[in-house]
């Protein structure tokens, strides 16, 4: 690539909730011809929606190295969005990293988790494993250590309104979450910036809140009483399973809440708002938007 040529950007998992927003954020910065979206299903509605934006869509299956080599050919900057398949992430991420090295990708940005190197979150272990793979790869990389998405909690607003309670086991732990769109904007900023290799960003919302405060924002938006009910970790996990959540995912969410009680989801460095050039989305705004969609 010559100094004046336009890099080509690739987003893995581009049909997912974060991936779609990263593509949209990139298109505010670079022409559609410079953006390639990776998807396991290239013919589904989400992929067709991406094509309608003018971006190319290539098949990229984390579990299929052959598809990855073909997908990443000619790519200069890659966003590796962490796999959603908990327990298989490290192996899948290794496939992407190895492929990126084989085809000569110049930079990998990886969506890790907040304070991955020291985090008490159980889900941080696979992120630490992936960070070690990146360090050993020899490919320049940048870590986007994303904090919690406010949407993770907003997704539970409907049952909270139905039962009058937000359940959790986070105690009085403060959670510095941000909207998914904020993290997408940060990824686009880093991908299109220069000199990013070797950087580590701890990304979180400007405002931290307890789940008691989060629960209080729901009746303010919906006009129905809702309060936070703090449970022991095992009881919260059982409640999630009882509501129909798969056991392994329920265990992960309960562990995350318990770790939040010890500060694992809090950060006050405001690196996210500095990257995106504006304040992060207030959690109350995300709550209002979620209520409006019900």
**pLDDT tens digit string along 215-242?**
999 999 999 999 999 999 999 999 999 9
Question: What DSSP designation does 174 have?
Answer: -
The structural domains of the chain, ordered by start, are 9-149+178-203+269-278 (3.40.50.720)
Q: Kindly state the average pLDDT of the residues 49-62.
A: 96
Residue 6 has pLDDT above 90, yes or no: no
Q: How far, in Å, CA of 139 to CA of 63, rounded?
A: 20
Q: What is the mean pLDDT of the chain?
A: 95
Q: What pTM did the predictor assign?
A: 0.95
H-run or E-run covering 201: strand 200-203
Q: Kindly state the average pLDDT of the residues 63-81.
A: 96
User: 3-class SS at 38?
Assistant: strand
Residue 7 has pLDDT above 90, yes or no: no
What confidence tens digit (pLDDT) does each residue in 149-186 have?
999 999 999 999 999 999 999 999 999 999 999 999 99
- Which one, of 97, 95, 117, 116, lies nearest residue 107 by Cα? 97
What confidence tens digit (pLDDT) does each residue in 198-209 have?
999 999 999 999
Residue 170: the pLDDT is: 97
Going from the C-alpha of 165 to that of each of 228, 249, 278, the distances in angstroms are 6, 21, 33
User: How long, in residues, is the chain?
Assistant: 294
Structure-model confidence comparison of residues 33 and 249, the more confident one: 33
Confidence tier at 5 by pLDDT (50, 70, 90): low
Which residue intervals of the chain are DSSP H helices? 17-26, 45-51, 65-72, 89-103, 124-137, 150-154, 157-163, 180-192, 211-222, 233-242, 247-260, 271-276, 283-292
What confidence tens digit (pLDDT) does each residue in 113-150 have?
999 999 999 999 999 999 999 999 999 999 999 999 99
User: Tokens 């994303």 sit at which residue?
Assistant: 146
Residue 86: the pLDDT is: 87
Q: Do the beta carbons of residue 169 and residue 230 sit within 8 Å?
A: yes
Question: What DSSP designation does 142 have?
Answer: E
Strand 141-146 vs strand 107-113: parallel, antiparallel, or unpaired? parallel
């Amino acid at each position: 690539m010559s100094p004046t040529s336009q890099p080509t950007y690739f987003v893995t998992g581009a049909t997912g909730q974060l991936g779609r927003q990263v593509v949209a954020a990139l298109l505010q910065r670079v022409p559609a011809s410079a953006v390639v979206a990776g998807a396991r299903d290239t013919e589904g509605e989400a992929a067709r929606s991406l094509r309608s934006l003018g971006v190319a869509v290539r098949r990229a299956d984390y579990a299929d190295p052959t598809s990855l080599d073909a997908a990443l050919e000619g790519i200069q900057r890659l966003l590796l969005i962490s796999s959603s398949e908990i327990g298989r992430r490290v192996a899948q991420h290794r496939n992407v990293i190895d492929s990126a090295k084989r085809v000569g990708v110049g930079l990998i940005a990886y969506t890790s988790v907040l304070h991955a190197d020291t985090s008490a979150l159980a889900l941080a272990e696979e992120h630490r494993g992936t960070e070690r793979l990146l360090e050993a790869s020899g490919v320049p990389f940048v870590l986007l250590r994303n904090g919690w998405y406010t949407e993770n909690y907003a997704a539970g607003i409907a049952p909270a309104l139905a039962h009058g309670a937000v359940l959790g086991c986070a105690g009085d732990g403060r959670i510095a979450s941000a909207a998914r769109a904020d993290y997408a904007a940060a990824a686009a900023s880093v991908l299109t910036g220069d000199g990013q290799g070797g950087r580590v960003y701890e990304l979180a919302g400007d405002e931290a809140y307890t789940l008691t405060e989060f629960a209080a924002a729901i009746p303010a938006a919906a006009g129905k009483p809702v309060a936070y009910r703090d449970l022991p970790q095992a009881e919260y996990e059982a409640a999630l399973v009882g509501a129909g959540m798969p056991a392994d995912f329920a265990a992960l969410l309960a562990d995350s809440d318990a770790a939040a009680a010890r500060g694992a989801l809090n950060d006050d460095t405001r690196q996210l708002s500095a990257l995106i050039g504006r304040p992060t989305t207030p959690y109350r705004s995300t709550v209002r938007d979620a209520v409006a969609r019900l």
